[in-house]
Structure 1
Amino acid sequence: MVAAHAVDGTLEVPVVDLTAWYDGTPAQRAEVARAVDRACRETGFMQVTGHRVPEAAALGLASAIDDFFAQDMADKKAVRPADPAVNRGYSPPRAERLSHSLGIASPEDLFEAFNIGSQVGDHPETVRTLLSADDHPDNLWPVESEVPNFRARVQSWFTEARKLSHVLTDVFALALDLPEGYFEERTDRSIDVLRMNNYRLPAGEVVADPRQMGMGAHTDYGIVTVLWADSVPGLQILGSDGGWHDVQPLPGALLVNLGDALARWTNERWLSTMHRVLPPTDATGALVRRRSAAFFHDGNADTLVEPLPACVAASDPPEPKYAPVTIGEHLRQKLAGSRGLALNPNAGREVARIGEE
């Protein structure tokens, strides 16, 4: 299995222009699919341009992140879920350990976050009986008068990122020679989550452990992640040389990376690349602020993920690398690690990439 490549210390993150996917001929769309296939084989990360996500939505998202995290800690904690297993609302600094999703013990991560996601009530009544509130819990929102227009700005980005995710899965189907619409029936009730991250410790706190990360090493869990990030360094991808390499998005581009579900489906033809976020610092070593927002398009809870026969046949040796698992069960295993802080025993193939047991 390969990983991201670095040349002269700089990580090569392929840039894929989606313009021809929207407006091109079948031959041009096929070339986009081939470019995505190359990126997914070699890196598992790509930068997409021509994505048709309005700049106004990105500006609204950034301002919403600024407004929410500028609140006092007490106000932010007012929208913290009573049970950390509920992947909604506010998560304060040092509350999570992303490396636990790989089964790796680590200090607490330094980021704080606010999550929203798909809810049972978002779906037509004919579909709701198929959904569990455990997978699609109600969102928690700050008081409108405290953070005016926050909900509208965040939901605008959520909608745009979801549309882009469905476009990307259509590209994936063509790239993998699957029937058109293959992923549609596996994502029409998708567990989708938008996580807004803020990397800055509360006043007076310091990093006590040099092993502490802004966000610990992990792979993403579902099908595909659409990431907006500001220009502050911090995000790193594990390279094929075993080293960590900085990644920053080009102006106007969005970072896209694959999750474990696609690595499993493709029998590791495609990668769910290991990544982490360093505590962002300035030239003096002082912690500085960094913002990002990850939209996780994870698939239907009852979708069974097992290696595709064609991908198994093309593997060396030609055998499945993963046992079948539903999206819902896989997510519960991962979240029990990152949020529940129980070491996940089911991530052996992922953790082997960084030489940990």
Structure 2
Amino acid sequence: MSTAKATGGPLQVPVVDIDGFEDGDTERRAEIARLVDRAAREVGFLQIKGHGIPEIAADGLAEAMDDFFALPFEDKVAYKPPTPEVNRGYTAPRDERLSYSLGVTSPADLFEAYNVGVEASKFADLDLPEDHYPANMWPERPALFERNVEEWMRQANKLANTLTRVFAVALDLPADYFKSYTDHSMDTLRMNRYQLPDGDVRLEPGQLGMGPHTDYGVVTVLWADDVLPGLQILDSEGGWHDVRPAPGALLINLGDLLARWTNDRWISTMHQVLAPVDSEGRPLLRRSAAYFLDGNADAVIDCLPSCLGPEEPKLYEPVTVAEHLAAKLAGSRSLKPNPNAGREASRLRSLSV
């Protein structure tokens, strides 16, 4: 995938207010789509305002995360999935290596996480495969964890689907173009905590909170603490740039499948999270929650005809959502370097030369 364009100065993540897209006039919709198109071409990340998600939902999510991650380790580890292929439940610190999703080896990542997602039972009439839509592993404690997390998922899903409509208009497609690819989307919410225990700040060379990666699906809705060091995105000149959420905004980034659809006209930007320690080596707390709209497991992703031309040859072969996600997850979770990410791997390796 291509990545954010260097501009000779600090890389700015555009702020776009989407209020009025669904019920505004044609001119307002076109202006929002134009701003999103520019951000998608140049940065691959946006800050979305006017998203309509009430603050109480974010507060409930943060409370659920804090209460769960504060549990004793032996309680949390009881919710580890039976195999890495089951993208649900608890991930302990140093269990994953996100750079493996790009085919690049690295030290173990330092974050811990909890995953929930869309279950096959939500679409009982479709007989969806359980391996792509596994059942959630809801912890018994904290008491309000399931309620608060499900509310955030509902809100994030609504925003993500609105964004697919914005994307369609920006690409000169009917507003509902992506609906048939996402109407039983295998979405996942990953809640992350970056905090090393006091006295445990030994880092291997190159060790990060979360290693370099691109997101795998269509679009990501990200709630994150405004804490530095933290999230960084890579520009086209090989420079890493800090990203901090603007007040009242949610971070949005495009995933690999949207880049494939647009033949890399839109960017799935490489990003990472720095180790959770300050400049003096003291542990820091940082939290984030990424809602991944990944698309239907059986959807075939192929280049949009409008993104092909004499000077725009087709960069990717068709792939199903399930095939693409399986290769990516086998890297990060099963530690089998992804063999299908050659261009991304060569770019990442070149940074250390």
TM-score, with structure 2 as normaliser: 0.96
Counterpart-to-counterpart distance in 1, 2:47 and 2:184: 26
Q: Residues 5 and 12 of structure 1 are in contact (CA less than 8 Å); yes or no, is this contact kept in structure 2?
A: no
1:332 is matched with which residue?
326
Given residue 330 of structure 2, which amino acid in structure 1 is its aligned partner? Answer: A
8 Å CA contact 2:201, 2:282 repeated in 1 = no
Match of 2:209 among 174, 190, 214: 214
Q: Indicate conservation of the 8 Å contact 2:4/2:267, yes or no.
A: no
Asked whether 1:348 is paired with 2:345, we answer no
Please, which of 272, 282, 296 is the counterpart of residue 276 of structure 1?
272
Is structure 2 residue 132 aligned with structure 1 residue 135? yes
Q: 1: CA distance between counterparts of 2:71 and 2:318? A: 44
Deviation at 1:318, TM superposition (A): 2.8
Counterpart for residue 147 of structure 2 = 152
AA partner of residue 217 (structure 1):
P
Q: CA deviation at 1:139?
A: 0.3
1:252 aligned residue: 248
On the 8 A contact 1:232/1:280 being kept in 2, the answer is: no
**Shift in Å at residue 204 of structure 1?**
4.6
Q: Secondary structure at the match of 1:293?
A: strand
Report which stretch shifted further, 86-95 or 341-350: 341-350
Q: Which residue of 2 aligns with 1:92?
A: 92
Instruction: Decide whether aligned partners of structure 1 residues 147 and 53 sit closer, same or farther in structure 2, where only a CA change above 3 A counts.
Output: same
Q: Residue by residue, what CA displacement relative to the aligned partner does 1:237-266 show, whole Å, maximum 9, x if unpaired?
A: 001221111001001100000000011000
Q: Is the 8 A contact 2:262 2:307 kept in 1?
A: yes
Counterpart amino acid of 2:78?
A
C-alpha distance after superposition, 1:175-213 (max 9, x if no partner) = 111123111010001010000000012455333302111
- CA–CA separation in structure 2 for the residues paired with 1:319 and 1:295: 32
Whole-angstrom CA distance in 2 between matches of 1:2 and 1:324? 18
Q: Deviations over 1:270-311 (max 9, x none)?
A: 000000000122242212110000000000011111111110
Aligned residue for 1:251, secondary structure, equals coil
Corresponding residue for 1:299? Answer: 295
- CA distance 1:319–1:6, change in 2 (3 Å): closer
Q: What is the deviation of 1:160? A: 0.3
Aligned partners of 2:13 and 2:47 also within 8 Å: yes
The Cα offsets for residues 68-91 of structure 1, whole Å up to 9 and x where unpaired, read as 100000010111111111110000
Deviates more, 1:238-247 or 1:211-220: 238-247
For 1:197, the equivalent position in structure 2 comes to 192
> Is 2:217–2:293's contact at 8 Å kept on the other side of the alignment?
yes
Bigger shift: residues 200-209 or 49-58: 200-209
Cα offset for 1:9?
5.1
Unmatched runs of 5 consecutive residues or more in structure 2? none
- Equivalent residue in structure 1 for 2:306, among 307, 310, 330: 310
Post-superposition Cα deviations, 1:331-353, rounded to whole Å, max 9, x if no partner, equal 00000000010010001122333
Contact between 1:104 and 1:356, CA under 8 Å: does it hold in 2? no
Distance 1:208 1:281, change over 3 A: closer
Tell me the TM-score normalised to structure 1 length.
0.95
Q: Match for 1:133: what amino acid?
A: E
Query: Structure 1 residues 198-207 or 106-115, which shifts more?
Result: 198-207
Q: In structure 2, what is the Cα distance between the partners aligned to 1:353 and 1:260?
A: 15
Secondary structure at the counterpart of residue 21 of structure 2: helix
Kindly indicate whether the alpha-carbon contact (under 8 Å) linking 2:201 and 2:277 is maintained by their aligned counterparts in 1: no
Partner SS state of residue 20, structure 2:
helix
Deviation at 1:312, TM superposition (A): 1.3
Change (3 A) 1:167 1:58: same
The match for 1:115 is 115
Matched, 1:231 2:230: no
Report the Cα distance in structure 2 between the residues aligned to 1:55 and 1:323, rounded to whole angstroms. 42
State the AA in 1 paired with 2:321: I
Do 2:222 and 2:290's aligned partners in 1 also have CA atoms closer than 8 Å?
Answer: yes
Q: Aligned partners of 2:242, 2:117: CA distance in 1, in Å?
A: 29
Letter in 2 for 1:294: A
Q: Tell me how far apart the structure 2 counterparts of residues 236 and 82 of structure 1 sit (CA, whole Å).
A: 32
Cα pair 2:104 2:349 within 8 Å, conserved: no
Correspondence 1:320 to 2:278: no
**Residue in structure 1 matched with residue 181 of structure 2 by the alignment:** 186
Matched ranges for 1:24-103 at <5 A: 24-103=24-103
Q: Which amino acid aligns with 2:264?
A: E
